[in-house]
């Protein structure tokens, strides 16, 4: 193991990375609040500024994945579709199996220049996560409680708001609604059986309401659905802590571009279309399992330097004052100040660990574990 690799596993490095992320995140959240008076005057300008501010936060996680852990991202897609990525609005339908699939998704967004404006139908709980959840308010992310009767109105309204968005965006939908676990899979296949639908081996049964309402409300705004299937080489189950420790993974993403006007308008036909899509996705995963690759031509969309430069900017800006502050505290000789600072650092570390915990599947929700009550705990 090289010296750099050992360095990447050191707690001190992790604390510095988390400190830079938190402090820069709070500064950016504050700047986002400062854009509030601009919204009634020039909404499109406020949105563009927020895209750039949001980029400055989310690209830190991309830099962590691309540059710190050195994770490689390979894209399997048709060359004629590749030309359009980043140049149109699209709905991305992605499987939800991995703790870092959000970072991998963001990395592809970054490679095609749509990271700042990327959108998702996210569970409401994520809106309370400091920095990222707060940033999402200003990026007009669509939140849901995963209780359709309560969600219908707000989801439709939030989708309609995106119709005049000034930047190209990708709208991500994890139609399975929750991350894959054996227990959730078993229950979801019981639901499939009751509905007379074919069983899926690698996916949960998709929830169709969110997809159908998104297609309905973004017709005319979005030109295609990107059916995306993600896997990691060597049966790896990557984690955010692994990435933080500098572990290198290899992501493979298979993307099919499907023009939106080929998707049925009628709600039940649209739902049937989505079920069929998930049966196809299951076949692609089976193909991957058997051959170690997806069908289609391979490309590695080039790295761009901006995520790294943004990260280095924040490191340079924030690490020097931290060192000076710690030095002054130590030199002050006051036990009280040193104890208070230590307690504060400990509290921040616990908070950071809680945020990382949000990405962990075994700390995930119970949504989809009770087919009758459809509970979210």
Ligand X SMILES: CC/C=C\C/C=C\C/C=C\C/C=C\C/C=C\C/C=C\CCC(=O)SCCNC(=O)CCNC(=O)[C@H](O)C(C)(C)COP(=O)(O)OP(=O)(O)OC[C@H]1O[C@@H](n2cnc3c(N)ncnc32)[C@H](O)[C@@H]1OP(=O)(O)O
246: left (phi over 0), alpha (psi -120 to 50) or beta: left
Binding mask 56-85 for ligand X (x = CB under 6 A): -----------------------------x
How many whole angstroms separate alpha carbon 113 and alpha carbon 29?
A: 22
How many whole angstroms separate alpha carbon 357 and alpha carbon 33?
A: 27
Among the candidate windows 34-42, 205-213, 242-250, 349-357, which touches ligand X by CB under 6 A? Answer: 205-213
Binding to ligand NKO in span 311-340, by CB under 6 A: none
Q: Which one of 18, 63, 187, 243 is in contact with ligand X (CB under 6 A)?
A: 187
Selection from ligand X, ligand NKO, none that 209 binds (CB < 5 to 8 A by kind) is: ligand X
Close Cβ partners of 368 (under 8 Å, ≥ 6 residues apart) = 176, 177, 178, 184, 187, 188, 204
Selection from ligand NKO, ligand X, none that 108 binds (CB < 5 to 8 A by kind) is: ligand X
Distance of CA 194 to the CA centre of its chain: 32
How many whole angstroms separate alpha carbon 196 and alpha carbon 211?
A: 20
Q: Which one of 64, 175, 270, 352 is in contact with ligand X (CB under 6 A)?
A: 175
Q: Which one of 35, 70, 123, 303 is in contact with ligand NKO (CB under 6 A)?
A: 123
Backbone phi, psi, residue 117, to 5°: -100, 5
Backbone phi, psi, residue 232, to 5°: -115, 145
Q: Which one of 102, 136, 232, 294 is in contact with ligand NKO (CB under 6 A)?
A: 102
| CA distances, 204 to each of 176, 191, 232, 365 (Å) | 6, 10, 18, 15
Q: Tokens in use for 276?
A: 């069929």
By three-state DSSP, how is residue 39 classified? helix
Among the candidate windows 185-193, 205-213, 267-275, 355-363, which touches ligand NKO by CB under 6 A? Answer: 355-363
Q: Which one of 61, 91, 109, 277 is in contact with ligand X (CB under 6 A)?
A: 109
Among the candidate windows 296-304, 312-320, 334-342, 364-372, which touches ligand NKO by CB under 6 A? Answer: 364-372
Instruction: Give, rounded to a whole angstrom, the gap between the first and last alpha carbons of the chain.
Output: 42
Q: Which residue has the tokens 């691309």?
A: 66
Nearer to ligand X, 18 or 251 (CB): 251
- The least CB distance from residue 52 to ligand NKO, in Å, is 18
Is 156 near ligand X (CB under 6 A)? no
By three-state DSSP, how is residue 281 classified? helix
| CA distances, 12 to each of 15, 23, 29, 73, 265 (Å) | 5, 16, 25, 28, 54
Among the candidate windows 59-67, 205-213, 301-309, 328-336, which touches ligand NKO by CB under 6 A? Answer: 59-67
Is 38 near ligand NKO (CB under 6 A)? no
Binding mask 280-319 for ligand X (x = CB under 6 A): ----------------------------------------
Task: Name the CA radius of gyration of the chain, rounded.
Answer: 22
Q: Which residues would be at the binding site for ligand NKO (CB under 6 A)?
A: 17-18, 21, 60-61, 64, 102, 123, 126, 129, 132, 174, 178-179, 355-356, 358-359, 364-365, 367
Q: Which residues would be at the binding site for ligand X (CB under 6 A)?
A: 85, 92, 94, 102, 105-106, 108-109, 118, 120-123, 126, 144, 146-148, 151, 170, 172-175, 177, 187-188, 191, 204-205, 207, 209-211, 226, 228, 255, 368, 371, 374
């Amino acid at each position: 193991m090289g010296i750099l690799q050992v360095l990447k596993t050191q707690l001190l490095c992790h604390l510095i990375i988390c400190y830079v992320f938190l402090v820069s995140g709070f500064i950016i959240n504050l700047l986002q609040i400062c854009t509030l008076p601009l919204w009634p005057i020039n909404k499109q300008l406020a949105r563009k500024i927020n895209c750039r501010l949001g980029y400055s936060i989310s690209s830190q996680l991309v830099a962590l994945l691309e540059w710190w852990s050195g994770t490689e991202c390979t894209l399997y897609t048709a060359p004629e579709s590749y030309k359009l990525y980043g140049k149109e609005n699209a709905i991305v339908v992605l499987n939800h199996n991995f703790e870092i699939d959000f970072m991998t998704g963001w990395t592809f967004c970054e490679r095609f220049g749509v990271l700042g404006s990327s959108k998702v139908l996210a569970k409401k709980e994520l809106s309370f996560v400091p920095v990222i959840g707060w940033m999402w308010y200003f990026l007009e992310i669509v939140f849901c409680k995963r209780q359709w009767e309560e969600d219908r109105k707000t989801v439709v309204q939030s989708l309609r708001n995106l119709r005049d968005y000034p930047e190209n965006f990708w709208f991500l939908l994890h139609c399975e609604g929750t991350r894959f676990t054996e227990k959730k899979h078993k229950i979801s296949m019981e639901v499939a059986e009751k509905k007379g639908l074919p069983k899926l081996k690698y996916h949960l049964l998709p929830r169709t309401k969110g997809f159908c309402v998104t297609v309905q409300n973004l017709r005319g705004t979005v030109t295609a659905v990107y059916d995306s299937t993600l896997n990691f080489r060597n049966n790896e189950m990557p984690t955010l802590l692994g990435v933080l420790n500098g572990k290198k993974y290899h992501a493979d993403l298979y993307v099919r571009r499907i023009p939106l006007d080929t998707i049925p308008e009628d709600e039940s036909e649209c739902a049937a279309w989505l079920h069929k899509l998930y049966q196809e996705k299951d076949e692609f995963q089976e193909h991957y399992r058997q051959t170690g690759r997806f069908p289609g031509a391979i490309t590695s969309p080039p790295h761009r330097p901006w995520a790294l430069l943004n990260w280095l900017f924040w490191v340079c800006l924030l690490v020097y004052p931290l060192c000076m502050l710690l030095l002054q505290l130590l030199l002050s000789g006051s036990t009280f100040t040193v104890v208070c600072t230590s307690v504060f650092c400990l509290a921040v570390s616990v908070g950071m660990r809680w945020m990382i915990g949000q990405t962990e599947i075994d700390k995930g929700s119970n949504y989809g574990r009770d087919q009758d009550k459809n509970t979210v705990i």
